Structures are given as C-alpha cells and as structure tokens.
C-alpha cells in the first residue's frame, strides 16, 4: 500500500481532465488527498470522478480564463471541504505560429488561460492557503525560461507566470506559504494536439514523437515530491535542465539550437533551409 502522504489535504487541480492534470488527480488521490477537479469537459470530469472512488472528489466545470469561474471554483471548494491545502494551476494552452502571421487574438487567449487563469485562482484561494500554510503550484514550461520560436504567446504567458509566482513567493517569504514553479519540459500529453495555429484553430495533431517524451504520470510523481519537499522550482527532463542552464551563459547558442530543433518539426512554420 502506498504511503498516504496527502491524507487530510484538500487539493485543487485545474485542467484536470487530461494530460498532466489527469495524472496528478490519480497520483494525489493515491496519496490520500481530497480532490477538487476543474476543467471545461463535464464528461471527462465525471469519468474521472467515477474512477477515483477511494477519497472524496468534487468536480466543477471551470473555464479558468473567466474570473467568475475561478471564484466559483474556490467558493465551492470551501463550501464542501472548508479548507484548501494545495492549488495546482495546471490548465494551459499552447500555440504554433510565427508572430508575423498570427492573429493577435491567439496571444490574448493564451494569456487569458495560462497567465490570468493562474492569477484568478491563486487570488481567491490565497486566504485559505495562508491559513493552512499550503502550496501554490504553477505548471509553467521551459518556454518560460527561454523563449521558443513559433510559440510567442505561449512563451510570453509562461514568462508571466514565472514572474508572478516568483514575486508571490517573495511577498510571503515569512508566513508559511509555499510557492512552486514547476516546469515539466516536453511531456506526452494532448497539449500539442489542442495547440492553436495562426488563425486560432486547433492544430489537431502533434508534430512531435509523444512516445519518446516523459510520461504525464512521471511528471505527476515529480510534482508530488516537489510539493512534499516544498521546493521553489522544479525543472524536469535532461533537455529542459540543460536548456535553462545553458541559456544563462550561452543564450545565442541556445537560440540557434532551438531554431534548428523546432524547424525540424513536420510542417514547421519556421521557413529556413537548414542545409549547410
């Protein structure tokens, strides 16, 4: 039997219907947590609720880009459980398009979901998290440390998340709040399938070999460990760690390597001849 490291804890997970959020729900439930699962898909949330029967589960239809939805999520959590111990800001959206070609509404959508969704949920959960001396987790990205070509809106939103979380951590340095910036690196999930293209439509398929990436279940396990150890920052995958480290000292070199890697994707919007 697995150790119930989160027994008695109430955990909110946004974007819980698929990918990293889905696996976090499973892993945290196994650890004994009471769960509040938020996403836009009612069917997927209900299926997950039926799957996780060992501990209390509350599902709430939530569009994190709407402030009122985020407030409702927190209010319903308090109404049901009376406390919040961990908030996992996982809901996120990606894109793939050159800035010169993208409709600006795409960037606004990414900021609304990735950045403002994190801000809204954290704002309304904060008083409860301060009471419990709990944890705020932001699922950011390596793209929040080094900008990725053809991902301007995604990188900008993740940079914004990183700055917000870093500042929040400093503001609450002495009152017991734990703030963790969590950057998974390339993870097998549906984030690239739902990524937006230049006109705002979904990409519909992934341009990368998902089977070669870290599994969402492994990512969830690392997140749990980071929360239990109250780490400030967790960066996953060897490539992710190397990118963040190298970008500090050799940013121009890393930019060239990023361009090459992203240009090799099928149907890449980076129209450069890589032959030498």
Among the four given CATH numbers 3.40.50.720, 3.40.50.300, 2.40.110.10, 3.90.180.10, the one describing domain 10-237: 3.40.50.720
Q: Which of 71, 67, 62, 131 is nearest to 90 (CA)?
A: 62
Averaged over 59-65, what is the pLDDT?
97
Report whether pLDDT(193) > 90.
Answer: no
Catalytic annotation, pick one of 154, 159, 174, 222: 154
Q: CA-to-CA distance for 123 and 133, rounded, in angstroms? A: 15
Q: CA-to-CA distance for 191 and 179, rounded, in angstroms? A: 24
- Write the pLDDT tens digit of every residue in 115-172: 999 999 999 999 999 999 999 999 999 999 999 999 999 999 999 999 999 999 999 9
Q: Is 127 helix (H, G, I), strand (E, B) or coil?
A: helix
- Asked if residue 136 lies in contact with residue 11, where contact means CB atoms within 8 angstroms, the answer is no
- Write the pLDDT tens digit of every residue in 243-275: 999 999 999 999 999 998 888 888 888 875 444
Beta-carbon neighbour count of residue 2 at 10 Å? 8
- Asked if residue 232 lies in contact with residue 181, where contact means CB atoms within 8 angstroms, the answer is yes
Which positions ≥6 away from 144 have C-beta within 8 Å?
A: 155, 158, 159, 161, 162, 181, 183
154 a catalytic residue: yes
The reply to whether the predicted model has a pTM over 0.85 is yes
Report whether pLDDT(1) > 50.
Answer: no
pLDDT of residue 268: 87
| Mean pLDDT score of the chain | 91
Distances (CA, A) of 81 to 52, 58, 153: 17, 9, 36
Q: How confident is the model at residue 206 (pLDDT cuts 50, 70, 90)?
A: low
Angle value at C-alpha 112, between 21 and 198, nearest 5 degrees: 95
Q: Which of 2, 3, 92, 83 is nearest to 36 (CA)?
A: 83
DSSP-based helix, strand, coil % in the chain, nearest 5: 45, 15, 40
Residue ranges of domains in the chain? 10-237
- Asked if residue 223 lies in contact with residue 183, where contact means CB atoms within 8 angstroms, the answer is no
- Asked if residue 34 lies in contact with residue 9, where contact means CB atoms within 8 angstroms, the answer is yes
């Amino acid at each position: 039997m697995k150790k119930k490291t989160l027994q008695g804890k109430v955990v909110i997970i946004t974007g819980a219907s698929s990918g990293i959020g889905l696996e976090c729900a499973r892993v945290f439930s196994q650890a004994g947590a009471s769960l509040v699962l938020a996403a836009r898909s009612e069917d997927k949330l209900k299926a997950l609720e039926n799957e996780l029967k060992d501990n209390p589960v509350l599902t709430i239809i939530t569009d994190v880009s709407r402030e009122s939805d985020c407030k409702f999520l927190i209010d319903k959590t308090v109404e049901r459980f009376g406390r919040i111990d961990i908030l996992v800001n996982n809901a996120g959206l990606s894109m793939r398009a050159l800035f010169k070609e993208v409709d600006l509404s795409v960037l606004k959508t990414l900021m609304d979901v990735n950045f403002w969704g994190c801000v809204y949920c954290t704002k309304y959960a904060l008083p409860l998290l301060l009471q419990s001396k709990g944890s705020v987790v932001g699922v950011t990205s390596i793209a929040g440390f080094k900008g990725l070509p053809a991902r301007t809106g995604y990188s900008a939103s993740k940079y914004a998340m990183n700055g917000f979380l870093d500042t929040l951590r400093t503001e609450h340095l002495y009152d017991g709040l734990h703030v963790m910036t969590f950057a998974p690196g390339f993870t097998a999930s549906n984030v690239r399938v739902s990524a937006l293209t230049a006109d705002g439509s979904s990409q519909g398929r992934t341009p990368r070999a998902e089977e070669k990436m870290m599994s969402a279940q492994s990512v969830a396990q690392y997140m749990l460990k980071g929360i239990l150890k109250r780490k400030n920052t967790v960066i996953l995958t060897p490539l992710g760690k190397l990118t963040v480290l190298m970008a500090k000292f050799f940013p121009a070199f890393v930019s060239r390597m990023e361009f090459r890697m992203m240009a090799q994707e099928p149907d890449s919007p980076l129209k450069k001849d890589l032959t030498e």
